[in-house]
């Protein structure tokens, strides 16, 4: 049994968690083109090595961040998302509504 | 101590010069400085592409570069199932061409790939699965592919080994029956292509890793390897599992996540299961090889990993469900387990054809559906490289489809884990 340390619930069986993919920088929807959106949604670094990822503890619906080595299958560190996302981000309103 | 019977006839046969053993492939040579085409990856797909380039397009100055040994990656790790009962018209047309090529492959190679037509059953345990099965059957029929939805009374006649009782957690409500579903010997497929390509002049270099890709002004010039730099007019990558890492060397990203797919085989037993049984809801597929081993697989791992380790979780999940389908296997032992690194794409279709780098071609995104496509991939990628334009069959699988939102959704038919 592989154990993951949930920042909210402590060590739990990894089968209680869902993998959410790599953490990507947030994008500004008002300045993004369709092409940029496609790339943001689908293109992946797919790194072999240490990556920063979203994970969710399903029974408590708690999303957090894990640093994991994708070659050795070691979980290095888990922590609340607030460690990275620590301030409010305001996007400019898209006045024209046009797609770039 | 000598056995009671000494097979002296066999011993004599071994020493005779009358039937000389022939090398499958010529002995390795030095890497040349330039080639017309360099293919990165010596698995089934890369070798098939080299074969069709040399035999059907007259391009023989080709080099296949393989990091490990021939066909030792996912070509050696799949469960060797061949079928074309997909969901989208693009997918059905593509995989059906592959089945047709497979049927003739032993003749084409003069080399037995042990192609064995078994009949493929995708079991449905829910109303939703019945609906998808009916949908797939209708799409298939429209495109001339033999598939139909059948009910438990027909399943009982065609596949008497299956437990059709309703005293189980997920009773079988019906199945998508695809009579052309087959298995073949995966090593022989790769070796047949390698031998045919080598005889036509293709060089195959094993134990040679690509460490960099030379791109100048948006155009590929060659590759750096652990044995020196090789220049080429055209380069193709066919490195399932490591596709993203190679593409990164050429300077672009892919819509791919590398996720392990585990499988296992049982000890050999007498033939009892002629058919290929798949259950999407139970995450199980099983067939019996010509050696008598049950070849079993399930869904991909729950998260990405560049590793071929096996886990107990996977085996417990797979075998628990399998015992519901085939309860008489309760005492059967597992003989081997392994995993492959699968290129999972968001729409469960491959990524093939041209790339942002000129003269650099890609054959990737082969997730859990690569072996069955080996011949058609080789044929269409060879056409694409030789002419510079993607073959009609692979146009829908282009890399741009993800940013132009033209995905080819095959999740319902390509994978068991959904």
**Cα gap B377→B371, rounded to integer Å:** 10
**How confident is residue A34, by pLDDT bands cut at 50, 70 and 90?**
confident
Q: Is the pLDDT of residue B370 over 80?
A: yes
Residue to substitute from A44, A49, A53, A66, interface B, most B β-carbons within 10 A:
A44
Token readout for B170 is 């997920």
Spatial contact of B408 and B396, defined as CB atoms under 8 Å apart: yes
User: Which residue reads 């991939």 in tokens?
Assistant: B377
Express each pLDDT in B18-75 by its tens digit. Answer: 877 778 888 888 999 999 999 999 999 999 999 999 999 999 999 999 999 999 999 9
Token readout for B411 is 């999740």
Between chains, do B313 and A46 touch, taking CB under 8 Å as contact? no
Residue B244 region, left (φ>0) first, then alpha (ψ -120 to 50), else beta? alpha
Between chains, do A44 and B313 touch, taking CB under 8 Å as contact? no
Query: Which residues of A make CB contacts under 8 Å with B?
Result: 1-2, 14-15, 18-19, 21, 34-35, 38-39, 41-46, 48, 70-73
Sign of torsion over alpha carbons A45, A48, A53, A59:
positive
**Closest to B103 measured CA to CA, from B113, B89, B88, B90:** B113
Spatial contact of B145 and B85, defined as CB atoms under 8 Å apart: yes
Bridge partners of B122, per DSSP, are B176, B278
**Cα gap B79→B372, rounded to integer Å:** 10
Express each pLDDT in B302-359 by its tens digit. Answer: 999 999 999 998 999 999 999 999 999 999 999 999 999 999 999 999 999 999 999 9
3-state class (DSSP) for residue B144? coil
**How confident is residue A26, by pLDDT bands cut at 50, 70 and 90?**
confident
* CA B256 to each of CA A59, B13, B346, B367: distance values in angstroms, whole numbers, following the listed order: 28, 51, 7, 9
For each of the domains in chain A, give its residue range(s) and CATH number, in order of start. Answer: 3-83 (3.30.2270.10)
Token readout for A78 is 């888990």
DSSP assignment letter at B353: E
**Alpha helices of chain A — where are they, by DSSP H?**
34-42
Q: Is the pLDDT of residue B399 over 90?
A: yes
DSSP per-residue string spanning B360-372: EEEEE--TTT-GG
**Closest to B275 measured CA to CA, from B178, B159, B180, B175:** B159
pLDDT at residue B5, as a whole number: 73
Phi, psi for B77 (deg, rounded to 5): -115, 0
ipTM for the assembly:
0.90
User: Which residue reads 């080996």 in tokens?
Assistant: B374
**Cα gap B239→B261, rounded to integer Å:** 16
Between chains, do B403 and A19 touch, taking CB under 8 Å as contact? no
Distance, in angstroms, between B305 CA and closest chain A CA? 5
pLDDT at residue A100, as a whole number: 44
For residue B137, give the H/E element and its range: helix B127-142
Between chains, do A73 and B258 touch, taking CB under 8 Å as contact? no
Spatial contact of A94 and A30, defined as CB atoms under 8 Å apart: yes
Please compute Rg for chain A using Cα positions: 16
Phi, psi for B130 (deg, rounded to 5): -65, -40
- Nearest residue in chain A measured CA to CA from B343: A46
Token readout for A71 is 């070659």
Spatial contact of B223 and B38, defined as CB atoms under 8 Å apart: yes
**Alpha helices of A25-87 — where are they, by DSSP H?**
34-42
In Å, the largest CA–CA distance within chain A is 53
Between chains, do B253 and A39 touch, taking CB under 8 Å as contact? yes
Q: Is the pLDDT of residue B418 over 50?
A: no
pLDDT at residue A93, as a whole number: 65
DSSP assignment letter at B401: G
> Considering only CB atoms, which chain A residues are within 8 Å of B253?
39, 43-45
pLDDT at residue B116, as a whole number: 96
DSSP per-residue string spanning B80-120: -EE----SSHHHHHHHHHHHHHHHTHHHHHTS----EE--E
Between chains, do A45 and B244 touch, taking CB under 8 Å as contact? yes
Between strands B62-65 and B34-40, the pairing is parallel
| Closest CB to A43 among B258, B304, B402 | B402
> Considering only CB atoms, which chain B residues are within 8 Å of A41?
402
| Closest CB to B402 among A18, A38, A73 | A38
**Cα gap B90→B413, rounded to integer Å:** 13
Phi, psi for B75 (deg, rounded to 5): -60, -30
**Cα gap B80→B74, rounded to integer Å:** 10
For each of the domains in chain B, give its residue range(s) and CATH number, in order of start. Answer: 30-80+187-254+347-414 (3.50.50.60), 122-179 (3.30.9.10), 257-274+283-315+326-344 (3.30.9.10)
Cβ neighbours of residue B154 closer than 8 Å, sequence gap 6 or more: B177
Distance, in angstroms, between A22 CA and closest chain B CA? 10
Between chains, do A39 and B403 touch, taking CB under 8 Å as contact? yes
Would the pTM count as exceeding 0.90? Answer: yes
pLDDT at residue B410, as a whole number: 86
Express each pLDDT in B209-223 by its tens digit. Answer: 999 999 999 999 999
């Amino acid at each position: 049994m592989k154990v993951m340390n949930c920042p909210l619930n402590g060590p739990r069986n990894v089968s209680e968690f869902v993998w959410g993919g790599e953490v990507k920088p947030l994008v500004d929807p008002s300045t993004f083109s369709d092409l940029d959106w496609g790339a943001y949604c689908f293109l992946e670094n797919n790194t072999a090595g240490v990556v920063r990822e979203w994970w969710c503890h399903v029974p408590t619906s708690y999303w957090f961040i894990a640093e994991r080595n994708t070659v050795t299958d070691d979980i290095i560190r888990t922590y609340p998302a607030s460690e990275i996302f620590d301030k409010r981000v305001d996007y400019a309103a898209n006045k024209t509504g046009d797609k770039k | 101590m000598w056995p009671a019977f000494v097979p002296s006839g066999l011993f004599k046969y071994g020493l005779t010069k009358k039937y000389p053993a022939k090398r499958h492939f010529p002995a390795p040579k030095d890497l040349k400085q330039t080639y017309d085409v360099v293919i990165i990856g010596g698995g089934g797909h890369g070798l098939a592409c080299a074969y069709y380039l040399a035999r059907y397009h007259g391009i023989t100055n080709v080099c296949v570069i393989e990091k490990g040994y021939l066909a030792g990656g996912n070509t050696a790790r799949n469960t060797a199932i061949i079928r074309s009962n997909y969901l989208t018209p693009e997918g059905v047309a593509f995989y059906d061409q592959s089945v047709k090529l497979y049927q003739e492959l032993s003749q084409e190679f003069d080399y037995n790939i042990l192609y064995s037509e078994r009949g493929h059953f995708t079991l449905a345990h829910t109303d939703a699965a019945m609906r998808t099965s009916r949908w797939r059957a209708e799409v298939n029929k429209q495109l001339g592919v033999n598939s139909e939805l059948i009910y438990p009374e027909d399943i009982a006649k065609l596949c008497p080994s299956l437990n059709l009782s309703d005293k189980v957690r997920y009773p079988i409500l019906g199945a998508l029956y695809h009579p052309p579903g087959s298995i073949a010997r995966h090593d022989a497929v790769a070796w047949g292509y390698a031998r045919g390509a080598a005889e036509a002049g293709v060089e195959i270099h094993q134990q040679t890793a690509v460490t960099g890709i030379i791109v100048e002004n948006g155009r590929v010039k060659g590759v750096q390897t652990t044995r020196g730099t090789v220049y080429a007019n055209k380069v193709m990558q066919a490195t399932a599992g490591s596709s993203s890492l190679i593409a990164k060397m050429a300077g672009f990203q892919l819509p791919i996540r590398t996720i392990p797919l585990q499988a296992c085989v049982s000890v050999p037993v007498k033939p009892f299961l002629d058919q290929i049984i798949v259950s999407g809801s139970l995450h199980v597929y099983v067939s019996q090889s010509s050696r008598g081993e049950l070849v079993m697989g399930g869904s991909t791992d729950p998260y990405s990993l560049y590793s071929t380790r096996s886990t107990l979780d996977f085996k417990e999940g797979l075998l628990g469900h399998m015992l519901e389908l085939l309860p008489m296997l309760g005492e059967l032992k597992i003989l081997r387990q392994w995993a492959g690194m699968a290129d999972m794409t968001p729409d469960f279709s491959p990524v093939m054809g041209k790339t942002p780098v000129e003269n650099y071609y890609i054959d990737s995104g082969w997730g859990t559906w690569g072996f069955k496509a080996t011949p058609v991939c080789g044929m269409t990628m060879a056409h694409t490289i030789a002419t510079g334009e993607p073959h009609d069959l692979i146009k829908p699988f282009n890399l741009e489809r993800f940013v132009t939102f033209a995905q080819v959704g095959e999740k319902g038919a390509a994978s068991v884990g959904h």
